[in-house]
Every structure is written in structure tokens, then in C-alpha cells.
Amino acid sequence: MTERLELYKCKICGNLVEVVLSGVGELVCCNEPMQHLNGKTNDDSSNEKHVPVFIDKGNNTSEVRVGAQAHPMENEHYIQFIETISEDKKFVQRMYLYPTEDPVMQIDNNDKIKIAREFCNIHELWVNPEMK
């Protein structure tokens, strides 16, 4: 059974699917079951970080940055998107990124965002620890 907002990836072609509504069927791509992605929450690397971090910017705004240290944003290695989710999981916002952009997403504190996740083209899905 799938759950709303879960992410699944095809191991063959790389398609990435987010569940919009829960269902009992199995997600299949390229005639194979898709892999459910569990977001990682701990980056042990000393020179790159993936875990999304919330930073209060004042004036009722915050930003989500990918990692306490800046993540590389190069053609070969970059953050493909940042997604934020409200605590009740009713509000979802996604921002797609290009390799030359900073991995930062501005958010309004009134939206009560408690969950952030990002997808790295090499290291896949990462979430802030509150997501677990």
C-alpha cells in the first residue's frame, strides 16, 4: 500500500513518482516494482551536507538550505529539487533547481512548514529529522 507524499524511483529508467493519493496497488515502471525511497537524515560526510536546514530570516519568513555547509551545484552533482510540507501534510511546495542555482528555498512562516526534503541527483532523497 502506498501513502500520500511517498516517493518511489524506478531502478531502470530513473523515473521519480510522488504519491498524490494513497492506494493499495504496487507502483511499477519498466515492468519492475518501483523502489520506495526513505529519506536519509544523517550525513556523516565532512565536506558535503545534504540534510535540509531551516533558517529563520525574520519578518515571518524562513529559508530551507540544503546542508549546514553548501551543497555542490555542478552539472555532475546538484540538488534537483527542494520540497516543503506542512505539519498536517495538507500543504506541499516544491522548487526545482538548476546546477548553477543556490540550493535555498524561501518559505513563509505562516504556512506552518515543519518538513523539508531534497533530492540530490547522486545521493537521492534527504529529509530534515522531523520527517521521520
Q: What is the pLDDT along the chain (132 residues), one digit of tens a residue?
A: 899 999 999 999 999 999 999 999 999 999 999 999 999 988 776 555 899 988 888 888 889 999 888 888 999 999 999 999 988 888 999 999 999 999 999 998 777 888 999 999 999 999 986 644
Residues 30 and 90 placed together within one structural domain of the fold: no
Locus of grid cell 555542478:
74
Q: What is the pLDDT of residue 132?
A: 40
Would 46 be classed as within a structural domain?
no
Domain count, the chain: 2
Cβ pair 59, 106 in contact under 8 A? no
Please tell me the distance from the alpha carbon of residue 125 to that of residue 112, in angstroms, as a whole number.
22
CATH code at position 62: 2.60.40.730
Locus of grid cell 545534504:
50
User: Residue 12: which domain range?
Assistant: 7-37
Would 62 be classed as within a structural domain?
yes
Q: What is the pLDDT of residue 27?
A: 97
Q: What is the pLDDT of residue 48?
A: 59
Would 43 be classed as within a structural domain?
no
| Cell numbers representing residue 88 in the block | 498536517
| Rg of the chain, C-alpha, whole Å | 15
DSSP H or E stretch at residue 112:
none
Burial label, 113 (beta-carbon count in 10 A; 0-12, 13-18, 19+): buried
Residues 120 and 73 placed together within one structural domain of the fold: yes
Locus of grid cell 529508467:
13
CB atoms within 10 A of CB 73: 16
